[in-house]
Structure 1
Amino acid sequence: MNGNWLRVSPDELEQAKADLGWAYGLAMTRRDNDSDRWSATDKAWNGLDFLLDRLGVEISLVRGEEEFVEWPDVEPDSDEMFDFLDNLEDDWGYGPPSYLTPAQVAAAATRLAALTEDDLIRDVDPQELTRAEIYPQTWDRPGELAWVAHYLPDVRNFFAAAATNGDAVICWLD
């Protein structure tokens, strides 16, 4: 399970809202071309989300804040949920994507600019992540927190570039 981001212009966001299939194609093209408008955190997504939340970053960079598709009010592992996921227009992975508006991206970029890798993991007990069942649940291994923290400079740069251009960011897990 990997965290992904796609920078899109406000016009592209509007098109994505109208046609998630188009957005999926755009995301795969930019990923396959290793575009600077696509980025990923690999399996560190949940650890990064946890550590940013722990520092009081209120905008969910990993999961997004706005929904393209309304999730059904059913149990996560129910037949109804699997039917919902099977009926998505394209295989976004673990459910439909979400997004951050340009204003949310700008606020996130500002908050990230002030953070260092050390800030992210200072005084963190790896057992906190284990107790919280944070994926990939390998927190007992040496260096796992540093592994998550090493993504921060790229995340900071990605969101800074998005904010500078007035972009929105589409977020998804695959």
Structure 2
Amino acid sequence: MNGNWLRVSPDELERARADLGWAYELAMTQRNDNSERWEGTDKAWDGLEFLLDRLGFEIPLVSGAERFVELPDVEPDSDEMLDFLDNIEDDWGYGPPSYLTPAQVATAAVRLAELTQDDLIRGVDPQELVRADIYPGTWDRPSQLAWVAHYLPDVQRFFGAAARDGAAVICWLD
């Protein structure tokens, strides 16, 4: 399970709202081309979101704040949810994508720019992540927190560039 982001213009975001199939093709093309418009966090996505949340970061960078598709109010692993997800056009991976608006991206970029890798993990007990059942669940290894923190500079560059462009960001897990 890997975290992914795609920078899109406001016009592209509007098109994505109307046609997730088109957005999926754009996302895959940009990712396959290793474009500057795509960034990934590998399996560190949940740890990163946990650590940012722990610092009071209000914008859910990984899971996105806005939904393209409203999910049904059922248990995540239920047959009803699995049936719903099977009927969504195009395979985004683990459920439909979400997104951050240009305003949310700009706010996130400012807040991210203030952080250091040390800020992200200072005072964190890996057992906090174990108790919270944070993916990938290998927090007993001493280097795991540093592994998550090493993504921060790339995340800062990505969101900084998106903010400068006035871009929105599509978020998904695959």
TMscore range, shorter length: over 0.9
Q: Give the drift of 1:169.
A: 0.1
Q: Partners in 2 of 1:139 and 1:158 — Cα distance?
A: 26
Q: Match for residue 31 of structure 1?
A: 31
Q: Match for residue 120 of structure 1?
A: 120
TM-score in terms of structure 2 length: 0.99
Q: Match for residue 102 of structure 1?
A: 102
Q: After the TM superposition, which parts of structure 1 deviate over 4 Å for at least 4 consecutive aligned residues?
A: none
Q: Partners in 1 of 2:79 and 2:127 — Cα distance?
A: 33
Q: Match for residue 160 of structure 1?
A: 160
1:135-174 CA deviation, whole Å, 9 max, x = no partner?
Answer: 0010001100000000000000000000000000000001
Q: Partners in 1 of 2:76 and 2:6 — Cα distance?
A: 26
User: Could you say what secondary structure the match of 1:172 adopts?
Assistant: strand
What is the identity, as a one-letter code, of the residue corresponding to 1:117? Answer: Q
The answer to whether residue 15 in structure 2 is matched with residue 41 in structure 1 is no
The answer to whether residue 86 in structure 2 is matched with residue 89 in structure 1 is no
- Give percent identity, aligned residues only: 79
What is the identity, as a one-letter code, of the residue corresponding to 1:136? Answer: P
User: Could you say what secondary structure the match of 2:5 adopts?
Assistant: strand
Q: Partners in 1 of 2:99 and 2:12 — Cα distance?
A: 12
1:38-87 CA deviation, whole Å, 9 max, x = no partner?
Answer: 00000000000000000011000000000000001111111111111111
Q: Partners in 1 of 2:14 and 2:65 — Cα distance?
A: 16
How big is the alpha-carbon RMSD for the aligned residues of Structure 1 and Structure 2? 0.4
User: Could you say what secondary structure the match of 2:159 adopts?
Assistant: helix
What is the identity, as a one-letter code, of the residue corresponding to 1:124? Answer: V
What is the identity, as a one-letter code, of the residue corresponding to 1:140? Answer: D
Q: Match for residue 15 of structure 2?
A: 15
User: Could you say what secondary structure the match of 1:141 adopts?
Assistant: coil
Q: Partners in 1 of 2:71 and 2:127 — Cα distance?
A: 31
TM-score in terms of structure 1 length: 0.99
User: Could you say what secondary structure the match of 1:60 adopts?
Assistant: coil
Q: Partners in 1 of 2:137 and 2:99 — Cα distance?
A: 26
Structure 1, unmatched stretches of 5+, are none
**How many positions carry a matched residue from both structures?**
174
The answer to whether residue 144 in structure 2 is matched with residue 139 in structure 1 is no
